[in-house]
Structure 1
């Protein structure tokens, strides 16, 4: 049938297919409510997949106050990415008339240290007096006043002095507050820390989590560094491996509910596996998305990798000729040496979906059509491999980590 050969090619080389690179062909921006993909304001795309917001971004029609600026790009296969969002504030005026800055704790709007504004309306910190600060990490905050409204503070973390580190801690997911995390053993008094510490994760639970790390220097805590991780069951022997795999087409049925992938060597026992599955799938002509994910030895399912494929008509050439007068028509096609069978798809419309087909077995390369059938449209697909049923989801005796 018409899509089988595409599925075979993709799964046999799944590591290559899902890693296929794409280029950016279009970009757009919009404020607040999404107008739909392709309906935003276009953004120019320059060389090396870089987008450029040349000139001013129009805020016409926006009320005074905070708004969300959204930017997204489109790949060369036509798929749009998720928007990148930034909160902005729209004021009445177009030029800053005042500014103020402070470190660490906010004294309140209008109560921070004033900052000069240049004749061109730019912030000028040249002669700004830095208040006495202890050695260590600090947060510098700057906000501006324009058109009757103050902006949200722009923040940046800085270090004063050598910032000798005297403490460190980690936590999972939710911040318990500075100083309340899990202590990390370090050598106090160091300027740069290289540490090797063991953190207990048993109480965190299986699944996706975020690990946060921060340091303390001069009594001030640094910003946090985040790392995503997955926690699963203990791994026998200490070496991770792939224990299962599955794929789906277009719509994700949920973890563990896809079509099971088979290890090429018959068993999942390595960290890298070649997987396959030949299935019959009646897909319409055009673009489709194939997703694939694997489960490791800790019974943790990893995020799906996706790529797009395009289903096109067969390369086999079919011709017709009249036989027995005009009562019947013989449909013929070129021989495909590796074919196990041929599917002759037909439809009364040129646009398909050509979901119905007639099976013809080699060595035959023709089909005698009834008098009413020649009015249909036909094309032929050769099947190189017998389809395998995919009617059972992957099961596990353990909890599935999402």
Structure 2
């Protein structure tokens, strides 16, 4: 228990589900505000599998134990069930703890409050590695949870650790009896033997798929608990899993007979550009899609399939870039330059020394300490010997939060919804005032600038695509990647 100060909770989330990419996650603490009402974090580009770290601010939470909940949101607006993690908030003056551990306390099922559990005394030490005998004679038969936390010599307690266990009717002996039955329940334990029975084959182990009836349950998130009983009438501890009840979807047995696509804005199911294909169960083929009618810049290509029953799938999408027509260039490269975020004009970027017919090498590009926290893009273009400059190539990177109170406060700025179709909301802590707002497109062009302390931006007249929203405030700057769709 050497560190008791928890300011930022870092989560590594692994989320994957079918039909559609993950476009954002939302999180909340302790109580579910409802799907779509949590704090949103944009995932850009959208991904099928999410495997990354998130810094989630905990400022404003009371000291004590809390639970963080996270769920993923797909590009069609549907959500996953939540992932949760317990954590602790310590008082602001709880600095790095150099005191030894001098005791533990434990309790069953319900927290009696810090310092009010059953005490376990130990010899003062930096690290405790020993076993404890904890009596359970006063507990009722059934499932319980043991919680334990340590205490330092200066009176501070750690967060708790916990484990589930079960109290049997009979003395605990080595079990040589086969499993003979199983039961399950949702959310609330009705008591051992009072849950819904499942017929299973008798045996030493249970290794099969079990069906749980959820057809009468309202839509939402639930937990199902399962326990088994042996031939000696002893019940196991429960095992559990979280799941969601979603609208019933029919089983599709019709073949796919059409593909339709559209760019940027959905014209409605069946109204996209149609590609006729031979009826088939699956589609694995290349399709040539013309882009001649699109303006230069970033666009989103969306594709969905229809079957012989007239039903369409959810659409999948991919971000594409349309460039102005160019001729085949045989001149050698004589110069290169880069810039970050905003294009200073051709020839006015930071020079890169290079030459040859092509460039196939790594460049070390220095980013100054003046860059704002958040998302940025570095752009590179080259010039050949006849004076022609290439189109831009870009790479996204992030400037992470630095240590300091100002950075922590800046990270509390909330920009939502993201993606957005029109209105973008800016929610700031009371201590922050906006000094300027800039919107930059993916060609490095500033398309909006304001020195007003706006709380809403109307993007309804902005073309669909990816942008950088850059905020300058009285205590620092933030750059955030947003999507207009």
TM-score over 0.5 (shorter chain): no
- TM-score scaled by structure 2? 0.36
Structure richer in strand, relative to its length: 2
Structure richer in helix, relative to its length: 1
Structure of greater Rg: 1
- TM-score scaled by structure 1? 0.42
Greater relative contact order (Cα < 8 A, sep 6+): 1
